[in-house]
Amino acid sequence: MEKEFDIQAYMTAGVERVVKDALKATLKDPRESAYMLKFAAASKRASQKRAKSEAEGTHIPPFLITSITSKCNLHCAGCYSRQNHATEDCEAHDQLTGEDWGRIFKEADELGISFILLAGGEPLIRRDVVEAAGRMENILFPIFTNGVYINDTYFNLFDKHRNLVPIMSIEGGRESTDARRGEGIYDKLIANMDRFKEKNLIYGCSVTVTTENLKDVVSNGFISSLKDRGCKAVIFVEYVPVTDESEELAIGDEEREFFAGELKRLREEYDDMVFISFPGDEKSSGGCVAAGRGFFHINSHGGAEPCPFSPYSDINVKDTSLRDAIESKLFKALQSEDILKDDHNGGCVLFEKRALVEALLG
C-alpha cells in the first residue's frame, strides 16, 4: 500500500533547508548571522505551532504571499499581474491599510507562519507596510521588487531590520533584462547590488525562467556575477503564460528536467547561496502547494486567493481572521477535489485548469 504523502513533513523539511542555507550564506557577516540564528530559533518554534494545529485538525502553511499594492511603475513584457488587472498604473480604491497588514502579520506570527513574501505591484511604494513588516522579527520578509525605488531611506531600513530581504527582479544580462523591464533597469539593479555589498546588507534576486533565458540564468557566468556582487539568494520563478501567444515561453518537461539538474548542481557548487524554484517540482511535493497546502496569496484588497496566478477568492481578511481564510471553502474544495494533484502540462496547474477553479467558486 502506497504511503500517504505528508504535506506537513514535506513543508517543514523545506523550511529547515532554506533556514540552514540562509545561515550558511550569512556566516561571514556577524550581524546578519546573529539575526539568522535568532530567526532559526523562531522558525523552530513556528514549526511546533504548526504541528500542534495539524494535530488539532488545521493545516497551517509556513509561507504566505502578499500583494501589498496594486500600483507599479513598470510595464514588464508578459506581466501576469497586469493581464489579470491586479496591477495598474494608479493605486486602486479600497486596498488594505498599513494597520490591516500589521494585523495580518501579527496573526501570521501567532499561527506559526515563518515567511511572508511582499509583492505587488511594486511593494516598495508602500513604505508603511514595509516598516510594519520590519517590526515582526520572527518572520522573514523577502520583498520582490523591481529595484527602482531603493534609495538611502530603504538602505537604512534594511540595515535596521534584518528580517527585510530585498529580492530584485533580473532576467539575466543587460539585453534580456532591459528588453523585458525597460531601458536602464539593468544598470539600476547593478548599482543597487554594489551598494548592498558595500553596506554588507543581504539581498537576493528573482529570475523569471523562460525557454529563451533558461540556459543563461543557470550558467556559472551569470550566477558567479551575482555572487561576486554579494547576492545571497536566487529565486527562480517559472514563467506562466498569460496569453496563448506567449505559451512558447513556458518551459516544458524536457527543459524542467534540465533545470532541476542545474538547480541541484548550483546548490552543490555555490553552497554559500540559497536557491529556490517556484512552483518547483510538483511531483516531489505531492502536487501543487498553493491554496493553503504550502502557501496562499492575499491580494491588495484582502482577498485570500490560492496563488497569484489563480486570482479567485471567496473570503476577505478585512472581514475575517487569517485562520478562517486558510480554511476557506474554495481552498478546502481545491484540496479535496484533488485538482492540485491533477496531471497537467507543467508550470501552474491552477492557471491551466482555471475553468475548474471558476466552477468551484460558482
Q: What confidence score (pLDDT) does residue 282 get?
A: 62
Could you please report the per-residue DSSP string of 121-156?
S-GGG-HHHHHHHHT-TTSBEEEEE-STT--HHHHH
**How far is C-alpha 24 from the geometric centre of its chain's CA atoms?**
21
- Helix segments in the chain, DSSP class H: 7-25, 30-55, 80-83, 98-111, 127-134, 152-160, 174-181, 185-198, 214-217, 220-228, 253-269, 322-326, 329-336, 349-352, 354-361
pLDDT band at 2 (very low <50, low <70, confident <90, very high): very low
Q: Which residue has the higher pLDDT, 272 or 139?
A: 139
Q: Which residue has the higher pLDDT, 77 or 65?
A: 65
Q: How far is CA 120 from CA 85, 144, 213, 297, 360, in A?
A: 12, 8, 24, 11, 26
CB atoms within 10 A of CB 91: 13
Closest to 240 (Cα-Cα) out of 347, 314, 94: 347
Is 1 among the domain residues?
Answer: no
Tell me the three cell numbers of residue 204.
537576493
Query: Looking at the predicted structure, is the pLDDT value of residue 252 above 90?
Result: no
pLDDT tens digits for 71-87?
988 788 777 777 777 77
pLDDT band at 88 (very low <50, low <70, confident <90, very high): confident
Query: Looking at the predicted structure, is the pLDDT value of residue 344 above 60?
Result: no
DSSP state of 320: S
Q: Which residue has the higher pLDDT, 244 or 102?
A: 102
* Mean pLDDT, rounded, of the chain: 89
Asked if 71 and 89 touch (Cβ cutoff 8 Å), the reply is yes
CATH number of residue 335's parent domain: 3.20.20.70
Euclidean distance between CA atoms 174 and 178, whole angstroms = 6
Q: What confidence score (pLDDT) does residue 346 get?
A: 54
Is 2 among the domain residues?
Answer: no
pLDDT band at 347 (very low <50, low <70, confident <90, very high): low
Closest to 165 (Cα-Cα) out of 216, 139, 203: 203
Is 64 among the domain residues?
Answer: yes
pLDDT tens digits for 325-336?
999 999 999 888
Q: Which residue has the higher pLDDT, 359 or 101?
A: 101
Phi/psi of residue 185, each to 5°?
Answer: -65, -40
Minimum mean pLDDT among 188-192, 251-255, 320-324, 348-352: which range? 348-352
Query: Looking at the predicted structure, is the pLDDT value of residue 54 above 90?
Result: yes
Q: Which residue has the higher pLDDT, 249 or 187?
A: 187
Q: What confidence score (pLDDT) does residue 12 get?
A: 82
Q: What confidence score (pLDDT) does residue 165 get?
A: 95
Q: What confidence score (pLDDT) does residue 89 get?
A: 74
pLDDT tens digits for 267-318?
999 988 989 888 765 666 677 888 898 899 999 999 999 998 888 999 999 9
Tell me the three cell numbers of residue 84.
489579470
3-state secondary structure of 291: coil
Stretch 32-46: mean pLDDT: 93
Stretch 140-163: mean pLDDT: 96
Q: Which domain holds residue 28?
A: 7-51+59-361
Is 164 among the domain residues?
Answer: yes
Q: What confidence score (pLDDT) does residue 81 get?
A: 77
pLDDT band at 1 (very low <50, low <70, confident <90, very high): very low
Q: What confidence score (pLDDT) does residue 135 get?
A: 97
DSSP state of 103: H
Is 255 among the domain residues?
Answer: yes
Number of domains within the chain: 1
